[in-house]
Amino acid sequence: MASPTWRLVSLALCLGALAVFQAARGADAARAFFVFGDSLVDNGNNNYLITAARADSPPYGIDTPDHRATGRFSNGKNVPDIISEHLGAEPVLPYLSPELDGHKMLVGANFASAGVGILNDTGIQFANIIHIAKQLRSFEQYQKRLSALIGAEATSRLVRGALVLITLGGNDFVNNYYLVPYSARSREFSLPDYVSYVLSEYAHILEHLYDLGARRVLVQGVGPIGCVPAELALHSLDGTCDPELQRAADMYSPRLMALLQDLNARHGGDVFVGVNMKRIHDDFIDDPKAYGFATATEACCGQGRFNGMGLCTMVSSLCADRDSYVFWDAFHPTERANRLIVQQFMSGSVEYIAPMNLSTVLAIDLQKQQLRT
């Protein structure tokens, strides 16, 4: 006869399995969210790595409810967090978080790692980061783990019905091609040839995502990399954006959108949705006061010219009103800027997001789901 203790353990295991099963049944109605990319979307994976590319110390996170640094390169929430709000879901956990288990996996996962790029040699100065190829391998491992919980068929449905965000490319310029004068890549390629090479590699990454089941992928383009405070500190006397870095962004952005059109034509649907991050940021930079910002050149947290030198730390100069700054640190937007960016995700014209905005995507996908059920 089973002991009372064993019966209690068995009951707990059964209740746990039932909870996961019920959550799995609800997963068809809820929409999972998966995030890949760099520091613009990393929400804490690098906290678990020995690397210089991390944001787990104050004043990062100063405007979170508990004022705690979370690993997000922001004073508060980043773009994935705000998209999760629009999905009506809790923020996805970093893949390396020990909390990502059981029913938490049904929400999705964030695989992003600060410092990475499209190319494997981007970000090597940060030593220990999760390059995009490894992020995709982790996505495969995630699916195996989830299959063990809810079965392969339910996992496949969850992944195919998920929203995916990928943000890559900026580091391939600022932390590779233009990292130092006469970098290895700049000696190997002219800028037009480098853009072609980077995009050809990106095509393989996006195809791999498709092969892993992704069917709705938001692809963030490169922002105005010549206008971030770090580059202004190095190259600008008066806050004017660096023309060479801007030339790279101007060259890259339309060619990325053309690549996504080609991939969609190949797969017979609007799988890939391109977000023109340069166009979105240009609005803030051209007329910051129109969006309620006091400055689009100086970082809130930093030191030196434009507060763009070095890292944001406890000894940095820190602005009092984060909402009046476009940039939180030398490279990354404030939470308020991120919220305005996501507004363009949700309702922007094709000038900002194409072939349709995220509100349209969500409405179409909900209608398809209702027809299936």
Helix axes 132-150, 4-26, angle to 10 degrees: 120
Rg (CA), the chain: 21
d(CA 233, CA 104): 42
Q: Terminus-to-terminus CA distance in the chain, angstroms?
A: 46
Q: Domains in the chain, please, with CATH?
A: 28-275 (3.40.50.1110)
From 38, 39, 138, 270, active-site residue? 39
39 belongs to the catalytic site:
yes
Q: DSSP secondary structure string, 131-170?
A: -HHHHHHHHHHHHHHHHHHH-HHHHHHHHHT-EEEEE-SH
d(CA 158, CA 149): 13
From 81, 242, 282, 329, active-site residue? 329
Residue 127 has a pLDDT of: 87
Neighbours of 320 (CB within 10 A): 6
- What string of H, E and C letters represents the secondary structure of 296-332? CCCCCEEECHHHCECCCCCCCEECCCHHHECECCCCC
Neighbours of 28 (CB within 10 A): 14
Sign of the C-alpha dihedral computed for residues 146, 149, 150 and 152 taken in this order: positive
Residue 371 has a pLDDT of: 83
What residues form DSSP beta bridges with 188?
none
Amino acid at 101: D
Mean pLDDT by 10 residues, the chain (373 residues): 41 38 44 98 97 96 96 98 96 98 96 98 94 98 98 98 98 97 97 98 98 98 97 96 97 98 96 97 96 98 96 96 98 98 98 98 90 77
Closest by CA to 156, choosing from 164, 146, 166, is 146
Helices (H), the chain: 4-26, 79-87, 132-150, 152-160, 170-172, 184-188, 191-211, 229-235, 243-267, 277-286, 335-347, 358-372
56 belongs to the catalytic site:
no
200 belongs to the catalytic site:
no
